[in-house]
Amino acid sequence: MPITPSKLIWMDGELVPWDEARVHVLTHTLHYGCGVFEGIRAYETSQGPGVFRLTDHMVRLANSAKIFMIDVPYAVEELVQAVKDTVAANELPSCYIRPLVYLGYGEMGLNPLPCPVQVSVAVWPWGAYLGDEGVANGVRMKISSWQRHDPNAMPPAAKGTGMYINSSMAKVEALKAGYDEAILLSPQGYVSECTGENIFVVKGGRVITPPVSAGALEGITQSSVMAIARDEGFEAEVGNLLRSDLYTADEAFLTGTAAEVVPIRSVDDRVVGKGEPGPITRRIQEIYFAAVRGQVDRYKDWVEHVR
């Protein structure tokens, strides 16, 4: 989806004009993919832009960095403030937010430790990642021939830039084959997640999503949806799923900050349920879309206001 430029990007403590937010070609992360990032959304609320679970995203960013031994020169609170300042400075009612921690121009070679650790925060207006049609009527999924990382090859708990080569290959494969999105399995054959989203199935009224041990990122939308599902009285659990569980599910959907909550219409050409968004998916979607806009009292703390 094309980027609509905003005005200012936060780079190492300063807001710089969009077109001047540049890096050197010998930026370490550009070569070896050792960086960490987040994807966050700010929604329009009655009190101005509200960032959904901002602190939780920044804690995950700090943990991702810790896993890769990247020493972020800012505390979580400072990163939270940097995001708020960037959203406010760009005067957008709602936006997608992309904080990035990367290793800059310093030394070359596989040891990243001598390189300067740099941080940027960019924001821009962004619509539904898998399209409005996907949100409304569901998407067609294909199980990828690419596997999710083995946890001892790449740590699934980290949102590392280089790890996304795996996702990009799966995404391209699915799109070229005429599907909307890919589902990756773990090396052990369990369902892991999608290229940039967690996956859920609904079976016999139970809502199930795969664990980190199957290679899935611990999604913030995933944990929000688990809370919503439980609060709605559904049994919601983290558990291993086989690909056949996807084919025979009553309902299935995917979750992510960019994608939000998107029903799954089919997997490998097997229609899921009735081939349309099921009632539990619809209910969860409805509550999620209200919660992110600060319209559900119970989840008001999830929205962190910029001003």
The catalytic site residues sit at 159
257 binds ligand PMP (CB under 6 A): yes
**Among residue numbers 157 through 176, which ones bind ligand PMP (CB under 6 A)?**
167
CB of 259 to ligand PMP, least distance (A): 8
Residues 48-107 that bind ligand PMP (CB under 6 A): none
Residue 52 or 179: the one with the smaller Cβ distance to ligand PMP is 52
Here's the x/- map for ligand PMP, 120-159, by CB under 6 A: it reads as ----------------------------------------
Q: Does 285 bind ligand PMP (CB under 6 A)?
A: no
**Which residues from 39-58 bind ligand PMP, rule CB under 6 A?**
39
Contact flag: residue 196 with ligand PMP (CB under 6 A): yes
3-state secondary structure the chain: CCCCCCCEEEECCEEEEHHHCCCCCCCHHHHHCCCEECCEEEEEECCEEEEECHHHHHHHHHHHHHHCCCCCCCCHHHHHHHHHHHHHHHCCCCEEEEEEEEECCCCCCCCCCCCCEEEEEEEECCCCCCCHHHHHHCEEEEEEEEECCCCCCCCCCCCEHHHHHHHHHHHHHHHHCCCCEEEEECCCCCEEEECCCEEEEEECCEEEECCHHHCCCCCHHHHHHHHHHHHCCCEEEECCCCHHHHHCCCEEEEEECCCEEEEEEEECCEECCCCCCCHHHHHHHHHHHHHCCCCCHHHHHHEEECC
To the nearest whole angstrom, how small is the minimum distance from the Cβ of residue 293 to ligand PMP? 17
Q: Residue from 255, 266, 281, 285 that binds ligand PMP (CB under 6 A)?
A: 255
Of 94, 144, 221, 285, the one binding ligand PMP by CB under 6 A: 221
- Binding residues (CB under 6 A) for ligand PMP: these are 39, 167, 193, 196-198, 217, 219-222, 255-257
